Structure 1
């Protein structure tokens, strides 16, 4: 047990110390404001405050963990070994940076509460983030900082025990539409036919009718392939099915169609199933509740996990809505157009509500790579290279790698050539442990 002395035990301080010490390093932690208790404690201990008490293990604290609400914070990012950090602590501190304050800034998504430019869908852009601007988006810096802290602690306290964790993968399969041509209904099929004709897409028109008449396999129907992969893998896949109503943004399959329902049930026999919330459910808890109940009715079990449509998050409202409906895992935190670590970590963490200043039970699994991002990389060889780089970053800190693939990514559609091989590389990286 690590004892931390501080002048003020705040919810922020308890939240971030428990994340770094316990969730990442496997070390239990407790807190005190009493100097006598701290001095009398004869095991591992450190002081986290402005001034060092004596010769103890000391980390100079930044003000952010003792504040409430949002403030204008001066951030100066500097190099630190192979990574970067901010909130410089000075020479007397055992660590040159206050990693707890810096980690809190990233995990709480402090910057997403501040004024920023959004894209056409209302999303926070990677280019607006401190990680992108200062060139550390590609690293799980919170985990790297935690391991640096561990090294220094072990020098000071050689007998200190840390629980060992192992690299793992959590493959996400996003299903915005289970089929390309099947189960679309007469009006949508007619509309698609007219569109193909006007755009001279005769190949698509040919495939559409061959699939509708059962003479060819629907290109998006890759579920048999994915389930076979699941049977060969020790990592549990997590599917997210869209069952919301048809709209400008969401063009899924009607959840009242029996064949679609039986598909979801079939997948749930082998993999975990979560809800891909529709675009309008992101801001409307009534629609979200309706979709949650529908999914629970289909899979006949309590819904644990969700993923927001278009990876859109409105903090803190999006997460509060999930908490209200007792959905306790979310997989939305990530960037569609940039690979990397939006919250600076590859360790699942609890959502901290900056408005209410409380740690919530909602567990955030940030994703680190979406298949669309790899499309920007030209050759298959280059795709493998960038994939290996991000996997290695996660492996170095024994973290959880979370990639997002879509059902159509495994199709024979030309743009997705080689993606089955890339998915295999990810699965094999988990089999090494």
Structure 2
């Protein structure tokens, strides 16, 4: 009898049910799943099993459905959050259910980003305002709530089926570096150099002006060129560094170096020899598919491999259109989901999940890796406060064997305080 397989009885198997159950029971917990709508097959099965529907079959472990997983599209839902043994819960069901609320429907609501399909007034960054988030309004933004649901349900299954064992799975720490500006001064055009110098003079930034001169005359290394230093740091640990390079046309929003510069292209290739690399999506590319396609062609022309990894750090996500466009182009992984000015789990999970298209009612091949931290936060919160929050969140992620993804910039590593923060996190990770 397999000890890592669970049989699920459900009268109606659809894309929402498969998507949600796969995330909770397979991606988070690691179990293999089988489904059946045949009562005889379910009753005859001796291994771990439960039923999901409107009514129990009789005596089995039964989870009552709220109904969201059998609906189509999206609509405004009135949600009341209550407590389930210390965990926030919603979509309460009757007492005949083994669990007092439909945590499967709650999971789907959270990881599909159902609330972001609803009408809302955009924030100052043209994105989904955190104040509209169910997690923020109810004080569980800091919790990988979906993962905690899964592990609590595992204990219920374990009490019923002692043979069931939790498959081995390790938590991961990923540091994602958004390379919008590979260099502070190097490779900038003559007009940008002159403009920058006059700006430094006007604001009496004498030290910065002197540094600019030293770099341009090759007396000093460009301060943003920290890639070799990061390579040495990475080699001392087991975590993963990912570098995302921007290839947008220069504009008010996109201040990167010209993608045709040989030095920049060589940097992308050399970093790719040691790290996972991908593309940092430009402001306009998030909103226009044609521009996104052009940037993808540029990246593949330089890297000489298909683009599989993307991310966005500074701009609003443009959900769900950006994800739809990335999926159509064959991108496999994206590191954009998070709040630029707040620490926490935007989708209430620390486990990577597939993007679910609510318009088409189907899961897509695009995997979303939630980011709990964006270095933009340090412009709004004190370093010590951020450090404490990160330690607590990483502890929560490790408890549920999830991912701990930090979204930073190469330019951040020029700050002594941020460098200390990063090294402190990584040192603690190794213990």
TM-score tier, shorter chain, comes to over 0.9
Residue in structure 1 matching 2:399, options 388, 393, 396? 396
In 1, Cα distance between equivalents of 2:420 and 2:94? 48
Aligned to 1:421: 420
Aligned to 1:336: 340
Q: Secondary structure at the match of 2:422?
A: helix
Mapping 1:367-378, distance limit 5 Å: 367-378=371-382
Q: Secondary structure at the match of 2:314?
A: helix
In 2, Cα distance between equivalents of 1:29 and 1:21? 8
1:312 positional shift? 2.5
> Is the 2:313–2:340 contact (alpha carbons within 8 Å) kept by the matching residues of 1?
no
Which segment drifts farther, 89-98 or 389-398? 89-98
In 1, Cα distance between equivalents of 2:184 and 2:294? 25
In 1, Cα distance between equivalents of 2:47 and 2:374? 44
Aligned to 1:151: 155
Pairing 1:166–2:170 present: yes
1:379 positional shift? 5.0
Give 5+ residue unaligned stretches, structure 2. none
Give 5+ residue unaligned stretches, structure 1. none
Kindly report structure 1 stretches of 4+ aligned residues shifted beyond 6 Å.
none
Aligned to 1:409: 412
Q: Secondary structure at the match of 1:160?
A: coil
Residue in structure 2 matching 1:175, options 179, 199, 205? 179
Aligned to 2:389: 386
Aligned to 2:368: 364
CA RMSD of aligned residues (A): 1.6
Q: How many residues align?
A: 427
Aligned to 1:266: 270
> Is the 2:178–2:313 contact (alpha carbons within 8 Å) kept by the matching residues of 1?
no
Aligned to 1:254: 258
1:332 positional shift? 0.6
CA 376–83 in structure 1, closer or farther in 2 if over 3 Å, else same:
farther
In 2, Cα distance between equivalents of 1:374 and 1:391? 18
Mapping 1:92-171, distance limit 5 Å: 92-171=96-175
1:378 positional shift? 2.6
In 1, Cα distance between equivalents of 2:127 and 2:59? 48
Pairing 1:78–2:82 present: yes
Aligned to 1:195: 199
Q: TM-score, structure 2 length as denominator?
A: 0.95
In 2, Cα distance between equivalents of 1:40 and 1:11? 26
> Is the 1:311–1:335 contact (alpha carbons within 8 Å) kept by the matching residues of 2?
no
1:80 positional shift? 2.6
CA 379–293 in structure 1, closer or farther in 2 if over 3 Å, else same:
closer
Q: Deviations over 1:88-116 (max 9, x none)?
A: 12332111221110000011000000011
In 2, Cα distance between equivalents of 1:132 and 1:311? 20
Q: Secondary structure at the match of 1:280?
A: coil
1:375 positional shift? 4.4
1:150 positional shift? 0.4
Q: Secondary structure at the match of 2:52?
A: strand
